[in-house]
Amino acid sequence: MAEGLIQPVILCGGSGTRLWPRSRKDHPKPFLPLVGERTLFEATLDRCADPQHFASPIVVAGEAHVHHILAQSGDDTTLIVEPAAKNTAPAIALAAAHLPPDTVMLVCPSDHHIADDAAFIAAAQSAVRLARQDWMVAFGITPDSPETGYGYILRGEAIDGGHRIARFVEKPDRARAEEFLADGGYSWNGGIFAFRAGAFLSELATYRPEMAEAVQRSVVDASREGPILRPAASPFADIVAESVDYAVMENTENAAVVPADMGWSDIGSWKALRDVRPHDANGNAVIGAGELIDCCNVMVETDAPRVSVIGLQDVIVVVDGDEVMVTTAAGSQKVGTLKGAVNQ
């Protein structure tokens, strides 16, 4: 890797239940063209493809997703196959242990939508500048509504292109979310991070020494076949699953946040997907054979049968194969609890 380039680390995971039935366990949402013609995973790679700024990507994923990743990524992609799903802290550590210590990692989920690529690059450059000073940097998404499904970050004193993180806040109830929005000092925690590989491993060793040691042993005993690296399963099996937020970001004294107003969505529900798709003047979006009359904020997605809707608002209808799912927009957070989603 050329010196000074940013190292994209793309995290692929999840079981695909929140966008069931379109997203399935064997073909989850990162690998579907949900917004435009490119899949969310391909769009993530595209954002980090400029060779003037970025090194060739590293993707961290489970065995179940290997064939999707190989089919949708370029020949220059390195794929680290997690021996087991252990959440984001060990996944990031696997990539960090594979890199020279001074490499600045830009960690991105594979299944988020970002409308403004230029704003993403600008935020990444600010984050990298701080990461080179050994800040552990989170992207703080500019909130535009009182969302209760995201964690929040309270910005502290200004530093070079960003802010110290005063504190992380768990997903709030509606009243607190409205307070955060009115306050103006809070950002959504978008799950995108930047840090030096060596600094991240040092912080992990400080706050989660057993995890750090197990990851190192797993990488030392890894096997490699072409672009695919398979860390050893035995050391990895004993790791207690934990997110990077809990393991490192909420513990480190060097936590920073850079503001990012870039049209971000985690596409965490059918409502979230509806909100980022092109729609007509009444807020309606149709993919496939759909007909809407006197409807408002209705989304229809069907892969074959015609779906006709009259006189409804804030409803989502999805037809995929032999499955039909109908929900209000407000109820879409519960899709993952349906028997069809759970019992795949």
> How far is it, in rounded angstroms, from Cα 313 to Cα 298?
6
Q: How confident is the model at residue 3 (pLDDT cuts 50, 70, 90)?
A: low
Please tell me the distance from the alpha carbon of residue 127 to that of residue 267, in angstroms, as a whole number. Answer: 23
d(C-alpha 247, C-alpha 276), whole Å? 32
Q: Determine what percent of the chain is predicted with pLDDT higher than 90.
A: 92
Q: Give pLDDT, residue 50.
A: 94
314 pLDDT exceeds 70? yes
What is the pLDDT averaged over residues 59-86?
95
| Contact status, residue 326 vs residue 341, Cβ threshold 8 Å | no
Give the pLDDT confidence of 152-169 residue by residue, as tens digits: 999 999 998 899 999 999
Q: Express each pLDDT in 23-51 by its tens digit.
A: 998 889 999 999 989 999 999 999 999 99
State yes or no: pLDDT of 303 exceeds 90: yes
Instruction: Residue 265: count other Cβ atoms within 10 Å of its Cβ.
Output: 17
Mean pLDDT of 1-10: 82
Q: What letter does residue 142 receive in the DSSP assignment?
A: P
Q: Are 112 and 190 in contact (CB under 8 A)?
A: yes
Report the 10 Å Cβ neighbour count for 71: 9
